[in-house]
Amino acid sequence: MHPSTLPPPKLIQEDNDFQDLVDTLHTQPRLAVDTESNSLHAYREQVCLIQFSTPTSDYLIDPLSLSDISRLDTLFASPKTEKVFHGAEYDIMCLKRDFGFNFSSLFDTRVAIRTLGRKRSGLQDVLAEEFDIQISKRYQRANWGKRPLSPALLDYARLDTHYLLPLRDRLEEALRAVGSWEEALEVCERLADVDAHENGFDPEGYWRISNANTLTPRQIAILRELYLYRDSQARHLDRPPFKILGDKTLFAIAEASPKGPGALQNLPGMTPSQIQRYEKGILAAVKRGKRAPIPRRPRHKPIDEIVRARYEALRTWRKDIARERKVESDIIMPREVLFDIAQSAPHDSESLKKVMTPLDWRFKTYGQDILRVLRG
């Protein structure tokens, strides 16, 4: 059915309606799922909408209006109901962070598309290719935490799940046709174990600002004070830190180390309104940084050179296989699994299988190749 002819989605904002919906969803063997968050509009991101689609209906659950949505945990954790996402990892991380949900029986249409070697994996491109349906992304940066949600926003949100179930069936057929169904499925199943998305202030985060390692120790001290100042303003205004001052602007200020009024005018990202709003606080932060103790760079455990050499050899092998199959390297083997293999250096099939569990398809397909690389 074309998007313009779809009936309105069902918005769930009352507790009684929510309880009835959960009962209904539990009867379904398969559900399409997506979420919308307000990361571009609030200091602390939160899930503001959870979309579900069955073969016949689209539902939008409003967690900001409901008193308790914990009953969704049994649904997400149920092995009897397959949950179909497109690009599941971030949604799952956020749902775990905000609600502590557990997951099983997952299918990710984006994983399936990438396993097939298709280059365009965004939902907009996929729906255009598979169903000749054009969906707009004009509301992608909308404030999903604002209430009430307009009919246009609600309709936009439901299109992220409405076509996922028929898309999933097409992709299963395509994967089975090329013998990659198990390959895709075991990656989808691993998504249940992703960690909750961090949603807090990292006091050491300034070290990750691009090119921070090129600054002098004193400039690093200034950068730290600017980073702390930006966070205090973001908290106060309930805005994302990047909307206060961008990382490039923090770096430029730290590098220039301005001394007085007017010195911010020619720095990148400093508009007249920002100067008017933040000049006093920025200059105070720079002043504090000029006399603050020099920060110590976080120490990371060095990687053993033998482990590094094994990892690089495995990476080269993975890249060659990916090029031959015309897929991205992480489809062949997740990076973290490759590193685990390099660290443990299994010497036979039995020990390698333990490291690669539960990637049984990949163990059967690539296990002997991996052992040869390790021996070489």
Q: Is residue 250 part of a domain?
A: yes
Cα separation, 172 vs 27, whole angstroms = 22
Looking at the domain assignment, is residue 297 inside a domain? Answer: no
Q: How far apart are CA 63 and CA 27, in angstroms?
A: 22
**Centroid of chain to Cα 230:** 24
CB burial of 333-345 (b: ≥16 within 10 Å; e: otherwise) equals: bbeebbbebbeee
Whether residue 91 is found in the same domain as residue 209: no
Q: State what percent of residues in the chain have pLDDT above 90.
A: 90
Q: Of 258, 291, 324, which one is at a domain's C-terminal end?
A: 291
pLDDT of residue 189: 94
What pLDDT score was predicted for residue 51?
A: 98
Asked if residue 198 is part of any domain, the answer here is: no
Which residues form the domain of 333? Answer: 305-375
Distance, in Å, from the CA atom of 144 to the CA atom of 208, rounded to the nearest integer, reads 28
pLDDT number for residue 169: 98
Same domain, 126 and 38: yes
Dmax over Cα atoms in the chain, in whole Å? Answer: 68
Does 164 map to a domain? yes
CATH number of domain containing 219: 1.10.150.80
Give pLDDT, residue 211: 96
| Mean predicted confidence (pLDDT) in 355-360 | 95
Q: Is residue 200 part of a domain?
A: no
138 and 266 inside one domain:
no
Residues 25 and 120 both lie in one domain? yes
Average confidence (pLDDT) over 141-161: 95
Q: In what order do the strands lie in the sheet with 47-53?
A: 10-12, 58-61, 47-53, 30-37, 82-85, 106-108
Q: Do the beta carbons of residue 233 and residue 301 sit within 8 Å? A: no
111-140 residue pLDDT tens = 999 999 999 999 999 999 999 998 888 888
pLDDT computed for residue 199 by the predictor? 78
Do 318 and 363 lie in a common domain?
Answer: yes
Domain boundary among 291, 325, 355: 291
What is residue 302's predicted lDDT score, i.e. its pLDDT?
A: 82
- Report the sign of the C-alpha dihedral through residues 57, 63, 69, 72, in that order: positive
| pLDDT band of 262, cuts 50, 70, 90 | confident
In terms of domains, do 19 and 104 share one?
Answer: yes
For the chain, how many structural domains are there in total?
A: 3
110 lies in some domain: yes
Q: Is residue 231 in some structural domain?
A: yes
With respect to residue 73, please indicate whether it lies within any of the assigned structural domains.
yes
* The overall pTM is greater than 0.95: no
What average pLDDT is seen over the chain?
95
Digit-coded pLDDT (tens) for 90-104: 999 999 999 999 999
Where is the domain boundary, 264, 291, 318? 291
H or E segment to which residue 105 belongs: none
**Position 1 confidence tier, pLDDT thresholds 50, 70, 90:** low
